[in-house]
Amino acid sequence: MSAINEKIFIEALSLPLNARVELVRRLLTSLKGVDFADDVSETWRGEIESRRQDFATGKGKEVSADEALRRAEVAIG
């Protein structure tokens, strides 16, 4: 990570939770259309597309960052 990226990252960590969530949302939105196909296996590509479609059609639902982290911690054990 470049020095400027590291500085931005450290500053972002000092933001309140809701501001960090908004920043992440905006950053992810800015990546719309970027192809990360080389970074994931074929199995995960299908899962990602399925979840993206569910979210786009309203079948999927948003969860808060706190809830997502809680679920991840439970899954990890």
pLDDT value of residue 14: 94
8 and 24 housed in the same domain: yes
Place 19 in a pLDDT band, splitting at 50, 70 and 90: very high
Residue 71: domain span: 35-77
Contact indicator for 12, 23 with CB cutoff of 8 Å: yes
pTM of the model: 0.45
76 and 39 housed in the same domain: yes
49 and 71 housed in the same domain: yes
Predicted confidence (pLDDT) at residue 7 exceeds the cutoff of 90: yes
Task: Give the position of tokens 């800015």.
Answer: 30
Task: Give the position of tokens 């993206």.
Answer: 52
58 and 27 housed in the same domain: no
Contact indicator for 65, 17 with CB cutoff of 8 Å: yes
Return phi, psi of residue 54, to 5°.
Answer: -60, -45
Give the span between the Cα atoms of 10 and 8, in whole angstroms.
6
